[in-house]
Amino acid sequence: MLHIKSLDEGLEIFKALGSSVRVEIIKILLKCNGMNMNELASQLNITNGALTGHIKKLEDCGIVTVTSESAGHGNQKKCSVHLDKILIDFESQLENTNAYNTDIKIGHFSSYEVYPTCGLASSTALIGEVDDTRYFSHPDRYNADILWFTKGYVEYIIPNFIPYSQKIDKITISAELGSEAPGVNDVWPSDISFYINDIFIGSWTSPGDFGDVKGIFTPDWWYPNWNQYGLLKLLVVNKKGTFIDGLQISDVNISNLNLTDKSTIRFKLSVNPDSKYVGGLTIYGKNFGNYNQDIKVKLNYSPIAPAE
C-alpha cells in the first residue's frame, strides 16, 4: 500500500494514472497476475517501443515492477502490479504542524512471548538459531530488520516526546506485515490483533505469507523459499474509532486511550491462540520486504483544555 499524505506528494502517481492506456495496462496485469512485455504489447495492439514508455512511467512511481525471467529464447521482461492499494489523505496539512514522528526498529520490542516457527534476522545474517525463542532476548536482536513467529506477541514502547501539557488526538502507525507459514504460502490467513496499553483496538486478517517473488529490498543472502514481503498496513486511532487502510475495524477511539505527554504508550501486535486463523506474524523492517521502512509512528497532539 502507498500512503499519499498530500496532493503534491501524489502528483507523479496522478500523472501516471492520467492515461487510458496505462490504466488498461494495470487492469490486464491484475487480471493475468503479470505478463511479459511482448504479450502485453500484442494484447494492447501497440508497439514495444510505445509500451516501454508507458511501463517506464508506471515503474518510476512504483505502480508496476519489471523483472527479467528466463525463456526459451533468452531473457524476457515480465511486468507485475506492485501496489495493492493507494490511500490518499485529503486531511488538512495543518495537522502535521502539531505532530511528533518517529520510527521504531523491528528488533526494539520491549516484551514478547513467541512460539515456533520463529526467528529474527538483520540485514546481513540470521540472529542466533531459527525456532529458538531464547534469541528474542539476545542483545543482537536490536539489529533485527525482520522477525516472525507462529503465535504469541511482541510489544513496542512508542517514544512519546510531544510537548508538555498536550494530549494525543490521533495515532498513525504503518508497518509491513504478513503471516508466518512453514516456508511460504500465499494463502495462509492469520488474525493479527493490535493493542495499545493492553486495550484491544482491533484486528486485521493477513491473507498469506508471501514468497512468489523476491522482496524488492530483501537481501540476496535470504533463503528463496522463505517469506519475501508483506503488505503495508496503515493503522489509525482517531476521535471516530480505529481504522486499517481507511476501513473502520473497531469503535475504540483516541479518547478511550486517554493519552497525554505523561503517558507511556505500549503497542502490541499479537496472534492469539484462540483466533479463528492462527497463521503467525512476520514484521518487515528496513532492508526486507517491499517498502524499506521500520514501524513508522505519528502522534498528533493539541493543548489540554484547562479544568473549569
pLDDT confidence tier of residue 264, bands split at 50, 70 and 90: very high
pTM of the model: 0.77
Domain boundaries, the chain: 2-81, 91-303
Residue 206 CA to residue 106 CA, distance in Å, equals 18
C-alpha distances in angstroms, 217 versus 36, 123, 154, 159, 221?
Answer: 22, 10, 23, 26, 12
Q: What is the pLDDT of residues 95-154, one digit of tens each?
A: 567 999 999 999 999 999 999 999 999 999 999 999 999 999 999 999 999 999 999 999
Q: What is the CATH number that goes with domain 91-303? A: 2.60.120.260
Say whether the peptide bond before residue 117 is cis (omega within 30 degrees of 0). Answer: yes
Sort strands 199-206 and 166-178 into parallel, antiparallel or unpaired: unpaired
Predicted local distance difference test score (pLDDT) of residue 51:
92
- C-alpha separations of 261 from 157, 166, 238, 254 in Å: 14, 6, 17, 14
Count CB-CB contacts under 10 A for residue 122. Answer: 20
Interval 205-251: pLDDT, tens: 999 999 988 998 999 999 999 999 999 999 999 999 999 999 999 99
- Please give the pLDDT value at position 11: 85
Q: Residue 214: how many CA atoms within 13 Å on its side-chain side?
A: 14
For residue 1, name the pLDDT band (cuts at 50, 70, 90). low
Contact between 279 and 181 under an 8 Å Cβ cutoff? The reply is yes
Provide, rounded to the nearest whole percent, the portion of the chain with pLDDT above 70. 94
Q: Say whether pLDDT at 193 is over 90.
A: yes
If DSSP codes are grouped into helix, strand and coil, which group holds residue 101? strand
pLDDT tens track for 240-253:
999 999 999 999 99
Given a cut of 80, is residue 158 above it in pLDDT? Answer: yes
Average pLDDT estimate for 155-165: 97
Task: Look at residue 199 and tell me whether its pLDDT is greater than 90.
Answer: yes
Neighbours of 166 (CB within 10 A): 19
From the list 34, 44, 41, the residue with the least C-alpha distance to 68 is 34
Q: 234 CB contacts (<8 Å, ≥6 apart)?
A: 1, 3, 87, 172, 173, 174, 243, 244, 245, 246
Given a cut of 90, is residue 308 above it in pLDDT? Answer: no
Residue that the C-alpha cell 488474525 belongs to:
191
pLDDT band at 69 (very low <50, low <70, confident <90, very high): confident
Q: Which CA distances in Å does 154 have to 59, 142, 271?
A: 35, 13, 9
Cβ-Cβ contacts under 8 Å for 277 (sequence gap 6 or more): 189, 190, 191, 205
Q: What is the mean pLDDT of residues 169-184?
A: 96
Check pLDDT > 90 for residue 296: yes
Q: Is 295 left (phi over 0), alpha (psi -120 to 50) or beta?
A: beta
Q: Is the pLDDT of residue 86 over 90?
A: no
Rounded CA separation 111/59 (Å): 40
What pLDDT, on the 0 to 100 scale, is given for residue 265? 98
Mean local confidence (pLDDT), 56-63:
88
Whole-number average pLDDT of the chain: 92
* Pairwise pLDDT comparison (248 vs 81), residue with the higher score: 248
| CATH T-level assignment (fold) for domain 2-81 | Arc Repressor Mutant, subunit A (1.10.10)
